[in-house]
Amino acid sequence: MGSYNWNWPILLKSPYFGWIVSGFEYTCLIAVLAWLIAFPLGSAIGIARSVDNRFARAVGTFYVDIFRNIPLLVQMFLWYFVVPELLPHDLGRWVKRDMPYPQLTTAIFCLGLYTASRVAEQVRSGLGAIGEGQRYAGMAMGLTGFQVYRYVLLPVAYRIIIPPLTSEFLGVFKNSSLALTIGVLELTSQARQIEEYTFASFEAFTVATVLYCAVTLLVILLMRVIEGRTRIPGTITVGG
Amino acid sequence: MKLMFAALLGSLTLAVLPMAASAQDGPTMKRIAETKTFTIGHRDASVPLSYIGPDGKAQGYSIDICLKIAEAAKEELKLDKMEVKFVPLTPQTRIPLLTAGTVDIICESSTHTIGRSRQIAFLSTTFLTGSKLLVRKDSGIKSLDDMNGKALVAALGTTNEKAAQVEIDRKGIKLKGGEIIKVKDHSQAMLNLDQGRADAYVSDDVVLFGLASAAKNPAEWEVVGPYFSYDPYGMMIARNNDDFRLVGDATIARLVSSGEMQKIYDKWFMPGPTNINYPMSDRLKTNMGLVALPE
């Protein structure tokens, strides 16, 4: 690194500072909105994979197999470049030309659907960990299937899977960087842009790294708080 | 002082200054002498300047010039043998690898700018280009002025994107969607254009000619518009490296004086292996005259 010319103040100069801020905002926006898709959808699919109905189980399994087995980068490409070509001509044209924020919308949608498949597996394993006994006990008491899930199984399952769900939530922040491949100006792509303009590579990527770490640490803290608040004494061992 | 030096360098862009700069020998020549290897950093798809050919080897206009610089370095250091190594680079890895000394010189298609000169140094300009637009022939677009309500795509962080933005702001052009669509690289820009997401792609004209010649149906495409940016290309080396810079700039000067530069140019551009057919512009001819310093 003998000849590298460190230039930290450049990050505070216009327009680079603004780029970092806007990139960070996009990263958070993509991650949060994708999570809002992933969590309910993933929960629904996870539940579908645990019910008695064979059809629902098949649909859930199919979804998880498709979305979990295709690399996220490839999925981004498929949604952005291939799917619009398969749509009816007018709709495809609308998606390509008139849909608001086409890159951003596609990225959020794609990341949300992908993460949903991972959340679904966590929910399914949470439900599996409870065992069949509680389900039968609930049914013996005359609860409907919905009530068994709502009042017996899910409250415990969600508590069990808070630690792995934390990882998925962190993953959504980190995976949002792949949105740059379809042209969303999130944090990583802004770091790249600064690098291209100024060649200050180390500074730009250092600040991106620090911001990713900061936001993921915040998520970890948040999930710890949720875990602590929702703990039912005597049910789950205390974990980190 | 650094700032002034960079500003001077950028504004002159000519080879006059570097040789006169205060003598400061850098690490590159020493490293070449010790390891008896000369390492060239190159790109994979900057056709026809620096790319990986069908045989899997680095080739192109910039590579040929750098091979001459390698020969000159070997002679200067009086080495009995010297190996030339090639390292493929991406825009993200090139500066770290150059400053860390993994590569001695980067031979591709990089625009020499003042901002970039703060981090690394450029040899004499060996190619000149500028921003133009690639459009469908039947689109009716003849220049940026026709882009009102149309979608423009650019590669992220390129000097072309910056120049287009300045022109758009200056002329008050209202693009579709309000801003330039930014993509990762040439092939994605072409995909956006091909699929009708965008109406024009802004890049260096030499790149656009290359893309059009490589398209499924080259006759469908057209490069239009007056230049609205000035993009001088130069080889990149580490800063504070005067002995190596002298070898590089002297080699370029001698290649031009001997007429060999024209032969290298014709080999890659007239019409060149990718049939690009891009005659040397008058500007580039003038530039070549300026970099051909006397002995």
Q: In the numeric block, which tokens belong to residue A5?
A: 């010319």
Q: For residue B242, is pLDDT > 50? A: yes
pTM of the model: 0.78
Q: For the segment A183-208, what is each residue's pLDDT rounded down to a tens digit?
A: 899 999 999 889 888 888 899 999 99
Rounded Cα distance, A60 and B84, in Å: 56
Q: Which chain B residues touch A85 with a CB distance below 8 Å? A: 195
Cα distances from A70 to residues A67, A77, A148, A187, B201, in angstroms, run: 6, 11, 34, 24, 30
pLDDT of A235 reads 65
Q: For residue A209, is pLDDT > 60? A: yes
Each domain of chain B, given as residue ranges in start order, spans 2-128+231-291, 131-224
Arithmetic mean of pLDDT, A34-56: 96
Contact B188 A202 (CB under 8 A): no
Cα distances from B293 to residues A81, A190, B152, B171, in angstroms, run: 50, 40, 41, 40
Q: Which chain B residues touch A200 with a CB distance below 8 Å? A: 118-119
B125 close to B199: Cβ distance less than 8 angstroms: no
Q: For the segment A129-177, what is each residue's pLDDT rounded down to a tens digit?
A: 998 899 999 999 999 999 999 999 999 999 999 999 999 999 999 999 9
Residue A190 CB-density burial (10 A; 0-12 exposed, 13-18 middle, 19+ buried): buried
> For residues B116 and A238, which has the higher predicted lDDT (pLDDT)?
B116
Report the CATH superfamily, name and number, of domain A9-130+172-218. MetI-like (1.10.3720.10)
Q: Which of A1, A4, A81 sits opposite B195 (nearest CB)?
A: A81
Cα distances from B200 to residues A53, A180, B280, B281, in angstroms, run: 52, 20, 25, 24
Q: Which of B118, B182, B197 sits opposite A5 (nearest CB)?
A: B118
The pLDDT confidence band at residue B20, using thresholds 50, 70 and 90, is very low
pLDDT of B156 reads 85
Fold of B2-128+231-291: D-Maltodextrin-Binding Protein; domain 2 (3.40.190)
Q: Which chain A residues touch B103 with a CB distance below 8 Å? A: none
Q: For the segment B73-94, what is each residue's pLDDT rounded down to a tens digit?
A: 999 999 999 999 999 998 878 8
- Note whether B2-128+231-291 and B131-224 share their fold: yes
pLDDT of B9 reads 43
Q: Which of B120, B151, B182 sits opposite A199 (nearest CB)?
A: B120
The pLDDT confidence band at residue B15, using thresholds 50, 70 and 90, is very low
The pLDDT confidence band at residue A237, using thresholds 50, 70 and 90, is low
Each domain of chain A, given as residue ranges in start order, spans 9-130+172-218
Residues of chain B in Cβ contact (below 8 Å) with chain A: 2, 26-27, 91-92, 95-96, 99-101, 115-116, 118-120, 151, 156-158, 162, 176-177, 181-184, 188, 191, 195-197, 238-241
Q: Which chain A residues touch B96 with a CB distance below 8 Å? A: 201-202
Which helix (H) or strand (E) segment is B206 a member of?
A: helix B205-214
Contact A195 B239 (CB under 8 A): no
B239 close to B119: Cβ distance less than 8 angstroms: yes
Q: Which of A3, A180, A194 sits opposite B240 (nearest CB)?
A: A3
B70 close to B28: Cβ distance less than 8 angstroms: no
Q: For the segment B129-187, what is each residue's pLDDT rounded down to a tens digit?
A: 999 999 999 999 999 999 999 999 998 878 899 899 999 999 999 998 888 998 888 88
pLDDT of A236 reads 56
Q: For the segment A63-80, what is each residue's pLDDT rounded down to a tens digit?
A: 999 999 999 999 999 999
The pLDDT confidence band at residue B53, using thresholds 50, 70 and 90, is confident
pLDDT over 70, % of chain B? 92
Q: Which chain A residues touch B27 with a CB distance below 8 Å? A: 2-3
pLDDT of B26 reads 83
- In chain B the first and final C-alpha atoms are separated, in Å, by 29
Q: For the segment B245-263, what is each residue's pLDDT rounded down to a tens digit?
A: 999 999 999 999 999 999 9
The chain A residue lying nearest B162, using CA atoms, is: A197
Chain A nearest C-alpha distance from B280 (Å) = 27
Helix and strand numbers, DSSP H then E, in chain B: 12, 15
Closest to A160 in 3D by CA, of A126, A185, A131: A126
CATH architecture group of domain B131-224: 3-Layer(aba) Sandwich (3.40)
pLDDT over 90, % of chain B? 62
B169-B173-B176 Cα angle (round to 5)? 115
pLDDT of B11 reads 45
B118 close to A8: Cβ distance less than 8 angstroms: no
Kindly give, in sequence order, each residue whose CB lies less than 8 Å from that of residue A53, ignoring residues fewer than 6 positions away: none
Cα distances from A147 to residues A47, A134, A138, A225, B24, in angstroms, run: 13, 12, 8, 27, 80
Arithmetic mean of pLDDT, A25-42: 97
Q: By mean pLDDT, which of A118-132, B177-191, B245-259, B281-295 is the weakest? A: B177-191
pLDDT of B17 reads 41
Q: For residue B212, is pLDDT > 90? A: no
- In chain A the first and final C-alpha atoms are separated, in Å, by 39
Using DSSP, state whether B58 is helix, strand or coil. Answer: strand
pLDDT of A4 reads 77
Rounded Cα distance, A127 and A122, in Å: 9
Q: What is the mean pLDDT of chain B?
A: 88
Q: For the segment A16-33, what is each residue's pLDDT rounded down to a tens digit?
A: 999 999 999 999 999 999
Q: In the numeric block, which tokens belong to residue A181?
A: 């491949």
pLDDT of A59 reads 96
A108 close to A33: Cβ distance less than 8 angstroms: yes
Contact B116 A198 (CB under 8 A): yes
Contact A3 B26 (CB under 8 A): yes
Q: For residue B18, is pLDDT > 80? A: no
The pLDDT confidence band at residue A3, using thresholds 50, 70 and 90, is low
Q: Which chain A residues touch B239 with a CB distance below 8 Å? A: 3, 5
Residue A22 CB-density burial (10 A; 0-12 exposed, 13-18 middle, 19+ buried): middle
